[in-house]
Chain A
């Protein structure tokens, strides 16, 4: 069985602060994919980043960066210099093929 845990329910920051979202996952598969999605109030799930289990290289993409550590089964996500438009629910998800298992989400509120 696959499980994703997002321990942070809500995070509130002031604009321009950095925000780090935690994600811990459980899987018995050796090959899997990890994702972060954003869900603004409109409801659509927006794909942000994807990593496969063989690539632990951490990268930065614009204001987004991630820290993937297989040893601790964690896949944390950081928004640098947050903006009001970043306010949304963020979901971490795990997949071994076609099926995504989502965490419960973290609500991020960025105040001006």
Chain B
């Protein structure tokens, strides 16, 4: 297992378009998290899954954002009708239950033009 994998690494999209990102966690980990990081700031929590259940969503996650984790394996994060303010690095992480720290992926950098 090579760690948490995120695709694509970079995405440039026009305002108003929909985008989808994928995260493949470490296979043994049952928890998966999404964070957003804007320039010059630390990552901010968006949502997390335990197996296939989405257990918490931050208020940062507007109704244009949706995340899924079918079958408790990989996860997708979709942003509909993108806005320039959505430009950020989207980080995925995974962990075991019983928090001992995350393993983060390399992130997907979104630029909305």
Binding site for B on A (CB under 8 A): 4, 33, 35, 37, 42-47, 50, 91, 93, 95, 97-105
Contact-size category for B: 20 to 34
B1 nearest CB across to chain A (Å): 15
Contact A95 B42 (CB under 8 A): no
Interface locus among B16-24, B65-73, B104-112: B104-112
B35 partner residues in chain A, CB cutoff 8 A = 100
Binding site for A on B (CB under 8 A): 31, 33, 35, 40-45, 48, 56, 89, 91, 93, 95, 99-107, 109
B58 nearest CB across to chain A (Å): 9
Contact A104 B42 (CB under 8 A): yes
Residue of A nearest to B33 (CB): A98
Contact B43 A98 (CB under 8 A): no
Contact B45 A35 (CB under 8 A): no
Q: How far is the CA of A98 from the CA of B34 in the complex (A)?
A: 12
Contact A105 B106 (CB under 8 A): no
Chain A: interface secondary structure? strand
Q: How far is the CA of A34 from the CA of B41 in the complex (A)?
A: 18
Contact A102 B102 (CB under 8 A): no
- The listed residue (B31, B42, B48) touching A102 by CB distance below 8 A is B42
Please list 23 pairs of residues, one from A and one from B, whose beta carbons are closer than 8 Å in the complex, sorted by A's number: A4-B42, A33-B99, A43-B106, A43-B107, A44-B104, A44-B105, A44-B106, A45-B43, A45-B91, A47-B103, A91-B42, A91-B43, A93-B42, A98-B95, A98-B99, A99-B45, A99-B48, A99-B56, A100-B43, A100-B45, A102-B44, A104-B42, A105-B40
A52 nearest CB across to chain B (Å): 10
B12 nearest CB across to chain A (Å): 16
A99 nearest CB across to chain B (Å): 5
